[in-house]
Amino acid sequence: MPRRNDKDQSNRGLYVEVRNNDIARAMRKLKKMCNNEGLFKDMREKEFYEKPSKKRKKKKQRLVSVG
């Protein structure tokens, strides 16, 4: 398989190579990468539709609790 340069890999998204048929290790690595990218958090937030008024209330409440 020919190697691609870094420019090609940036368009590809997350990429995990499976070595020696060790799928469990590759899955752990992929989950860790997804977690670091914040994909799981985004999926949880977008799982259900949230009305704009609810979004504003959450954002306002978050700002009040932090500040």
Per-residue pLDDT reduced to its tens digit, 11-40: 668 888 999 999 999 999 999 999 999 999
29 burial type by CB count under 10 A (0-12 exposed, 13-18 middle, 19+ buried): middle
Burial class (CB in 10 A: 0-12, 13-18, 19+), 34: middle
Query: Is residue 30 in some structural domain?
Result: yes
Residue 46 domain flag: yes
- More confident of the two residues 67 and 49: 49
Per-residue pLDDT, 51: 94
Stated pTM of the model = 0.57
Burial class of residue 48 (count of CB atoms within 10 Å of its CB; 0-12, 13-18, 19+): exposed
Whether 44 is covered by a domain: the verdict is yes
Residue 29 domain-assigned (yes or no): yes
pLDDT value at position 1?
A: 47
Q: How many domains does the chain have?
A: 1
Range of the domain at 18: 6-66
